[in-house]
Amino acid sequence: MTQGTCTSALLAAQVAGELVGPDDVVIDGVAALALAGPSDVSFLGNPRYVPQVLPSAAGVVLIPRAGFDEAPPAGRAWIKCDDPAAAFSQLVPMFVAPPLEYAPGIHPTAFVHETATVDGTAHVGPLAVIEAGASVGANSVISGATYVGQETTIGEGCLIYPNVTLRERTRIGNRVTIHSGTVIGSDGFGYEQTPTGHAKVPQVGFVQIDDDVELGAQVAVDRARFGRTWIKSGVKVDNLVQIAHNVVIHEHAMIIGQAGIAGSTSIGQGTVIAAQSGVAGHLSIGAGSVIAGRTGVSKDLPPGAQVVGVPAVPRRAHVKRISAYKGVERCQKKIKQLQAEMAELRALIETKG
């Protein structure tokens, strides 16, 4: 085998799976079922894709240990796994290009204030700006055209992609990844209405982002009015998410694209907020809650809540609500039918009258 190639037998051993079919299928890439070729490994991660497995050209497919009993076509192999998606993720690094490497040092076009501290193992890219009193930890990467404001601290092993803005006094932990276009530490949206217009409320707090957080592209996290806006360890945030001032997002929560969280709301540990959902301000969302896509939450949620809709209701209540809507539609059709029949009877009576 050359580098980047592997046999079906070795793949099965790598993921502790059960090989079904030939042990000598040579694999040199990864792909989705619909796009895979004979030298690719793919996986069945969702029952809806079962119809794609047999027609797929993938040389090897990772499948669940139960629930799929079709034999592989000639020249192809299955590998039965406890979790095909997780096993596939384990195999991907064997076939794709290694992560980009960043040489330690400061690019000549970067600006680093004389009072800033940059570890000797860190990378500062072209046209980056690191202001007074800021610090960058060991093995961190500050990509080109990124702005690091005064007294901002960045821990070890962070990856800050191009065109990120970290405003003054932001605190970034270790192993944090921030994608392009994200702005951390803008003023919170705070105004008081006065007879002469809107008076700005000073936003004098900061943003704290703990270890192992990843923020997608064009995320906005506002600084606190007082104290901190706080994203705790392990939180994952998708693209185009708005996190307002003084929000606290607890460990390992996931916030999906175009969601918004209003000020001073607490999001419990392990909570999932799906795409295009909105959570009102000054609420407490219990740990392990699941907020479905396009849901509007205006009240506190207990731990483990599963809500959907506008306004948000428990998932089972939403199913009943949808069923009721369908029942109303059936009633409307029946009423129209009865009205037509009554009109015919009235016409018949008048004719014979």
**HSE on the CB side for 47, CA within 13 Å?**
4
The vertex-75 CA angle with 69 and 77, nearest 5°, equals: 40
Of 113, 123, 198, 245, the active-site residue reads 245
The Cα–Cα gap between 271 and 235 comes to: 10
What gap in Å lies between CA 33 and CA 52, rounded to an integer?
6
Burial status of residue 108 (CB atoms within 10 A of its CB: 0-12, 13-18, 19 or more)? exposed
Asked whether the beta carbons of 264 and 281 are under 8 A apart, the reply is yes
Type of residue at 62 = L
DSSP string, 189-211: --EEEETTEEEEPP---EEEE-T
Cis omega (within 30 of 0) on the bond before 311? yes
- Tell me which DSSP letter residue 232 carries: -
Are the beta carbons of 42 and 33 closer than 8 angstroms? yes
User: Left (φ > 0), alpha (ψ -120 to 50) or beta: where does 12 sit?
Assistant: alpha
Residue with tokens 């104290």: 227
Among 308, 330, 331, 332, residue whose Cα is nearest residue 320 = 308
End-to-end CA distance of the chain: 96
Task: Kindly state the helix (H) or strand (E) to which residue 148 belongs, with its residue range.
Answer: strand 147-148
Q: Is 245 a catalytic residue?
A: yes
Four-point Cα dihedral 325, 330, 332, 334, nearest 10: -160
Q: Half-sphere exposure of residue 283, counting CA atoms within 13 Å on the CB side? A: 20
Residue 193 tokens read as: 């209405």
Which active-site residues does the annotation give? Answer: 245
